[in-house]
Amino acid sequence: MVCFFVALYYNVIIAWSLFYMGNSFQYPLPWEQCPINMTTNNTVKECSGSSPTSYFWFRKALDITDSIDESGEFNPIMTGCLLAAWAIVCLAMIKGIKSSAKVMYFSSVFPYAVLFIFLVRGLMLDGAMEGIAYMFYPKIEIWAEVQVWRQAATQVFFALGLGYGSVIAYSSYNPIHNNCHRDALMVSCINFMTSVLASLVVFVVLGFRAKNIVLNCITQNLGLLNDMATHGSNHHWWPWFNMSDPASVTIPDYREWYHHYGSQVGTNITDCDLDEEMNKGVEGTGLAFIAFTEAMAQFPASPFWSTLFFLMLLNLGMSTMFGTMQGILTPLMDNFSLLGRHRTMLTVCSCALGFVIGLLFTQRSGNYFVMMFDDYSATLPLIIVVVFETFAVAWVYGADRFLDDIEIMLKWRPPVLYKYLWKYVCLFAMVGLLAASLLRMVFKRPTYTAWNHTTASETTLEYPGWALAMLAMLILAATLPVPVGYFHSWLKNRGMGPEGELAGQEIDRERYTKCNSRDALDSNSQHTPSVEDDGRPRASFLPLGLDHYRLLPQQEDVEEEEEDTM
């Protein structure tokens, strides 16, 4: 359910990337300058009051309404882009795990090449070092905010694929003795280094953008001061630097002068704060579609860099969508044999359903629903799902038993530290984060950021009553399968009675055997290996200890897997 909700709105972001990439094949870029109103022959008011990139994003791309209450008609261009995005996902997934894996080789490696290119180019820009310094300088005062930690948890879940089921879906295709410990450490380290690399690229470009804005601000203010000097004004607060040469004035010099005399000058003379500019447009969709587009518009050969950037976003989005779709399709095929026999039809129908429901996001108010799904259909349900997963493994199944199983797979036992991390540290941290997030929602009404076309600025609005009901339904729909599945199993066992329970235990004994660790394994008790409908060899379960269930492959399975590997 969580994967389905994420796939619905995440493919809309891919559609936006397709739209921007299509508009990158022109010079100058359409978001470099404000358009002219043909009636008045003046710059469009909404654009002059904000910026060319903001105007292009909110008016040309989204054609957004002023609030979530105003739905507006469908955006035909975005509807077409969404159809194209779902078609690409469907074609890549239609042949199953092998076809999606081949596509992911390119979609996962290509962004690294682009990131390195952007990093090298970005380090040559004026303002790059200021951006890197801003990135690494900690802000202790915001560490007490719940929203910061909730977003950090969401970032970790998104980056590592935790709680989606996509990692479980992919790993179910691995051989039984695959070194999952090595893979987990490797993925975590690569993810960390990738995050640092991507953050460097982001803050290098944002530093360049912010410094350009601040230098333009200083130039405009010095021009106003020169006009005042021309009209004979002579005050003791005149700057000590050369106002006639703005290029020679440094940001620290101007800010020092403004700090001493800013209160004595007119209100038309403003402060030019680099940190304040760095804070603008660095979150959510504004990062990619406003801040980055504005910075790339100032690059030499801007269409090339814009095309490269949105092609990278498209690849990143597609690789995420493949994993998300695996988290939808694999559980359905594993639990319903009929669906497993008709994988192609299931894939096509899932993508078609995703497109139809995704039309909600192609309305003029669609961006507000994207923010709603991003904040509430993924973040909180993900935390709840991971809490259930951790509790089930560490407490219900048992951390010691789980470590025993991993020992059988790896041929060595992982450190006992994992046991205490699973049972206490991780579980209590996520429960605390979940409780704090729910309390924040109760005591502080959820809000969203809307675009006001009259003032040409963003405003914070509270969700209306029907939107709050929709939020609650999204969270409940994503988390209900856990208790519903439990009660369904409980009622089923209760309805079977004692005889039914014994029959169920006999069925379980065909797959599981409980015995003393001193008992010898009877090789004749091994069953003929079977193959799942999706082509995965199913492992047989054999005992290796008292009161423990062990997962071991049959010898025939291992031989078949070795032949496949060769």
The binding site comprises 191, 316
Angle CA(414)–CA(420)–CA(422) in degrees, nearest 5? 85
- Asked whether the beta carbons of 324 and 86 are under 8 A apart, the reply is no
Half-sphere exposure of 506 (CA within 13 A, CB side): 6
Q: Which residues are annotated as a binding site for Na(+)?
A: 191, 316
Give the other-Cβ count within 10 Å of 135's Cβ. 16
Give the separation between CA 183 and CA 163, rounded to whole angstroms. Answer: 17
- Asked whether the beta carbons of 31 and 349 are under 8 A apart, the reply is no
Number of H helices, E strands in the chain: 24, 6
- For residue 36, the cross-strand partners are 43
- Asked whether the beta carbons of 168 and 329 are under 8 A apart, the reply is no
Say which DSSP state 411 is in: S
- Asked whether the beta carbons of 244 and 228 are under 8 A apart, the reply is no
Q: What phi and psi values does residue 451 have, to the nearest 5 degrees?
A: -100, 125
- Asked whether the beta carbons of 170 and 333 are under 8 A apart, the reply is no
Assigned token pair, 521: 């394994």
Give the separation between CA 132 and CA 127, rounded to whole angstroms. Answer: 9
Instruction: Give, in order, the Cα–Cα distances in Å from 535 to each of 171, 175, 344.
Output: 14, 12, 14
